[in-house]
Amino acid sequence: MKKPKKIFFGWWIVISAALQNGLGGSIHWQGFTVLFIPISQTFGISSAQTSLLFALARAENGLLGPITGWLMDKFGPMPLAVLGTAMAGIGYILLARTENFTQFLLIYVIVVSIGATTSFMQTAFVALNNWFIKKRGLVMSINSASFRLGSAILVPTFSYIVYSWGWQNAVLLLGIFLLVFITPLGFFYRRSPESMGLLPDGDEYEKTEEKTEEELSSYVSGYTWKEAIKTSSFWFLTIATTLRLSIHGAIFVHMIPILVWKGISAAEAAWYVGFLALVGVPVILVMGRLSDKVGRPKMLAVCYSASGLSLILVNLSSSSIFLLLSLLLLVGSEAGSGLNWSLVGDLFGRKNYGVIRGLLGPFYNAALVVTPVSAGYIYDVTNSYEIVLYTGSIIFFISSVTFLYIGNLAKKLKTYEI
């Protein structure tokens, strides 16, 4: 009698990453927009000053990105996933005790942000890139979809707690939740399938030793970071990633303030954000699977063209229904996240994925230092987000064209197969 085939261990990593980012990462990254107005009111600060919290956190992320990426390539994602999540949880508990903006800023940037940088999305993408090749787009999109599904459920819940019990109690509960429930999920991560005698995607070894050596060589191949930065593909990928994240970050930091500016209440706006994330789940999964078939560059071009159009329509919307429908196109930006990080693996392989992905960090995080604060400053001066939305639309369209061009450059790379 034939024994039933065991479930490939990589799928347990997919589940662990999905839970970690769907339940923990979603509140950390998307919850900031819920805290935006209450924090500014509590400490009596402007939109630009509140945006500075996010901007400094991204600056720190940019500095640490290459270092944490190198550490993950060397030691595997498990240690950083566990320690980082625990650190973020402790940081949120400390935030509940802050008495002024300076204390809040220091704890958020030095404790919470460093913990989140070394855990959540970065560790998940490194682990998934190591465990999957043929299904890379699908599994990274599952991770992104779980993030958005978590946002759909938890952001409105977090908003209710913030406005009912106060933001201090909300961040205290968040910190305890991260420590008790999310931190242990990091123990499921493993360095690579080869470390467990397996192959990516659950493939099986050929019986001949000669073929096995060829398989291993192809599976672990990849550019070194020194080789990667000498390619045109790396620099155009840097440009496209920086452009799309600079606007994505600014828009989602200011999402609830933008909706309030359009006449929606702050509490109702949180439900808009949750609904947008919920609608994004099936779209992200479909786009991820399609990208495994037709290639990441084409799908990314579609995603950010739709996002650019969304910002134009949001600016023009004059009713809540039209506003909601306009926001649905912004799902393209949500779907593009997993595809973008899959593309790094497509272009440069598995061997040094963490450090190569980390090398993109200083560039896009430098932009994320500027754009949220600039958006806040523009609103403070003009009392409007019109300039922010139109400028963001143009930048999204430029990133779309750049991603499409990367598809042509990629054909020259030794590791690119799609």
Q: In the predicted model, what is the mean pLDDT of residues 20-33?
A: 85
pLDDT of 211: 45
pLDDT of 205: 62
Q: DSSP string spanning 51-78?
A: HHHHHHHHHHHHHHHHHHHHHHHHH-SH
pLDDT of 34: 86
Q: What angle do CA 173, 157, 36 make, to 5 degrees?
A: 80
pLDDT of 389: 97
Distance between CA 418 and CA 406 in Å, rounded? 12
User: 92-101, 205-214, 300-309, 368-377: which range is least confident on average?
Assistant: 205-214
Q: Which of 331, 336, 310, 344 minimizes the C-alpha distance to 245?
A: 336
Backbone angles phi, psi at 221, to 5 degrees: -70, 160
pLDDT of 368: 83
pLDDT of 330: 93
pLDDT of 307: 97
Average pLDDT across the chain, whole number? 89
Distance between CA 152 and CA 102 in Å, rounded? 31
Token pair belonging to 230: 């000498």
Rounded to two decimals, the pTM is 0.83
What pLDDT, in 10s, does the model give residues 345-374? 999 998 899 999 999 989 998 888 889 889
Q: In the predicted model, what is the mean pLDDT of residues 310-326?
A: 93
Greater model confidence, 89 or 256? 89
Give residue 416's pLDDT band: very low, low, confident or very high (50, 70, 90).
Answer: low
pLDDT of 103: 94
Q: In the predicted model, what is the mean pLDDT of residues 239-267?
A: 92
User: 143-152, 256-265, 371-380, 400-409: which range is least confident on average?
Assistant: 143-152
Residue 231 scores a pLDDT above 90: yes
pLDDT of 260: 94
pLDDT of 308: 97
Give residue 1's pLDDT band: very low, low, confident or very high (50, 70, 90).
Answer: very low
Q: What angle do CA 392, 231, 411 make, to 5 degrees?
A: 85
Domains of the chain: 9-188+222-410 (1.20.1250.20)
Q: Which range among 79-88, 140-149, 405-414 has the greatest average pLDDT?
A: 79-88
Residue 340 scores a pLDDT above 80: yes
Give residue 121's pLDDT band: very low, low, confident or very high (50, 70, 90).
Answer: confident
Residue 304 scores a pLDDT above 60: yes
pLDDT of 2: 47
Q: What percent of the chain has pLDDT over 70?
A: 94
Q: Which of 268, 403, 241 minimizes the C-alpha distance to 327?
A: 268
Contact between 47 and 380 (Cβ < 8 Å): yes
Give residue 334's pLDDT band: very low, low, confident or very high (50, 70, 90).
Answer: confident
CA atoms within 13 A on the CB side of 252: 27
Token pair belonging to 169: 């109690």
pLDDT of 220: 57
What pLDDT, in 10s, does the model give residues 179-208? 999 999 999 999 889 888 899 998 876 544
Distance between CA 155 and CA 149 in Å, rounded? 10
Q: In the predicted model, what is the mean pLDDT of residues 22-33?
A: 84
Amino acid (one-letter) located at 128: L
- Reduced to 3 states, what is the DSSP secondary structure of residue 121? helix
pLDDT of 209: 47
C-alpha distance from residue 328 to each of 21, 74, 272, 284, 301 (Å)? 22, 40, 10, 13, 17
Greater model confidence, 305 or 412? 305
Residue 112 scores a pLDDT above 60: yes
